[in-house]
Amino acid sequence: MDDLSVEQKVFKYETFISDVLQKDLQRVMEQRDSVYEKISQYLQLKNTIESLKEAESKDLKTEIDLGCNFYVQANVEDSSKIFVAVGYGFFVEMTHAEALGFIEKKNCQLTAFTEVLTKDSSKIKANIRMVLEGLRELQGLTDLPESRRTAVL
């Protein structure tokens, strides 16, 4: 092949890596991070519910954030039921036992979704590596020794 066509193909593959594969990988990783954040919030709720159950007092004094870090004291007369965000902006009133059951199911669902996202990111990383290997062969470069190789992202 002549040098011009090789340079065009190299540019085309490099553009594909940066414009498509890297952006796909970044999107998947951000999505996975947001799912991990949701799992963290549900685990925090679980700990709060368990501490409420241990207190065995229906009367609860707390501070509520009204916004912009402006807190007021609140007195909850009956803390035996709570409202749990179930998704899409909906809240459901649940007892502590119902909420703990929901949290367990939701954590299992979210964990399975993170596993799918992790597999997707691994596939994208493999595709990036494959294209980089193709570029290496196209340019006639020799492979790096095993000690000098680095992982893709």
Gap between the Cα atoms of 98 and 82, Å rounded: 10
**Residue 54: its pLDDT value, please?**
84
Predicted confidence pLDDT, tens digits, the chain (153 residues):
566 787 888 888 889 999 999 999 999 999 999 999 999 999 999 999 998 888 777 788 889 889 999 999 999 888 888 999 888 999 999 999 999 999 999 999 999 999 999 999 999 999 999 988 888 887 777 665 666 666 655
**Tally of CB atoms within 10 A around 137:** 10
Residue 61 tokens read as 């004094």
Give the up-direction half-sphere exposure of residue 127: CA atoms within 13 A in the CB hemisphere.
17
Instruction: Identify the burial level of 66 via C-beta atoms within 10 angstroms of its C-beta, where 0-12 means exposed, 13-18 middle and 19 or more buried.
Output: exposed
**Residue 37: its pLDDT value, please?**
96
Is the pTM higher than 0.85? The answer reads no
**Residue 144: its pLDDT value, please?**
58
**Residue 121: its pLDDT value, please?**
96
The answer to whether 10 and 138 have CB atoms below 8 angstroms apart is: yes
Q: Where are the domains of the chain?
A: 3-139
Gap between the Cα atoms of 36 and 137, Å rounded: 39
Residue 146 vs residues 64, 90, 128, 153: alpha-carbon distances, Å: 56, 53, 18, 17
**Residue 147: its pLDDT value, please?**
66
Q: What is the CATH number of domain 3-139?
A: 1.10.287.370
Indicate the SS3 state at residue 86: strand
